[in-house]
Structure 1
């Protein structure tokens, strides 16, 4: 009877010893791992790199092509060859691909033999128009007007009539004093105007030939 009672006690003692040993081992493992100092952030765990994808099975007789831009592997096992870049579109205005380059032609100037002016007498308010040949001088009041060039534009272009003109003032002593030299514009008379207290002159247009007067028309 004593032997039967002793066996459960021995089993209980063995189980208790095994449990105590397991608890001691776990405490030792916990105590061996150092704890981070207070106020610090533990380093993140490094991610395990993923395994490369397995190559796709190839079908006999079918050539596998690399994506566009990736190096192509030569069949003989040589170094990889770069793939051909996609064709680029030709730049605007170039003649690549058979297109013809269009160049805007420069503005054409038509020289004329006569310049047409308008003169204003500020005292009487009378306006007079007169034609002057290139290089010649016309007298308007106390002003002498000499055109050097007169240009017009073709009918297909925007009209811009210009004239390079020289204007002198005749003083009371009979001397000619230059008061204007430059370009006159028929579309903008006030852009380059003659500054004079009594007379004013501006460009109206140009003529390729001499104007037809009433006398010459009657003779014809």
Structure 2
């Protein structure tokens, strides 16, 4: 449990540090652009998911709770709060923040699929 709390704290600090380096506050985006990878066949899929909505990417359901980006740099480093779950039984594979520039910092742990945040959209 301590390791989990330490990882969450490091993720939050990493997001704040990335934002501070870019010199500004975060703006909430309207949607998140996500990329999915099926590790078995190498197929990728990009999908835009509005904040507060969910979508199926390959064999998982992704809920986008929040997506933020630097106010002074809309194409800058985005970070999004995602929940990734199994569509059949609701098993949660991931629940937390992902940072676009550092997807491995807090990554989805799934045997077949990977999901990354690419960016947020403002309109």
Give the TM interval when normalised to the shorter protein: 0.7 to 0.9
1:205 matched to 2:119:
yes
Aligned partner of 1:133 in structure 2 is 50
User: What aligned pairs does 1:53-202 form with structure 2 within 5 A after superposition?
Assistant: 107-155=24-72, 159-170=76-87, 174-202=88-116
Number of aligned residue pairs:
101
- Give the Cα separation in 1 of the matches to 2:107 and 2:70: 22
Return the offset for 1:194.
0.5
Post-superposition offset of 1:141:
1.9
CA distance in 2, matches of 1:188, 1:156: 17
Structure 1 Cα separation of the partners of residues 121 and 102 of structure 2: 19
More strand, by proportion? 2
> Moved runs in structure 1, 4+ residues, more than 3 A?
none
Between the aligned partners of 1:142 and 1:121, the Cα distance in structure 2 is 9
Counterpart of 1:131 in 2: which secondary structure? Answer: strand
Structure 1 length normalisation: TM-score? 0.43
Distance 1:112 1:126, change over 3 A: same
TM-score, normalised via structure 2 length: 0.75
**Offset of residue 114 of structure 1:** 0.4
Q: How much does 1:160 deviate?
A: 2.8
Residue 76 (structure 1) aligns with = none
Unpaired stretches in structure 1, ≥5 consecutive residues: 1-105, 210-220
CA distance in 2 between partners of 1:156 and 1:177 (Å)? 36
Q: 1:123 to 1:153 in 2, by over 3 A?
A: same
* Offset, 1:129: 0.6
Please give the root-mean-square deviation of Cα atoms over the aligned residues, in Å.
Answer: 1.9
Rounded Cα–Cα distance in structure 2 between residues aligned with 1:156 and 1:118: 21
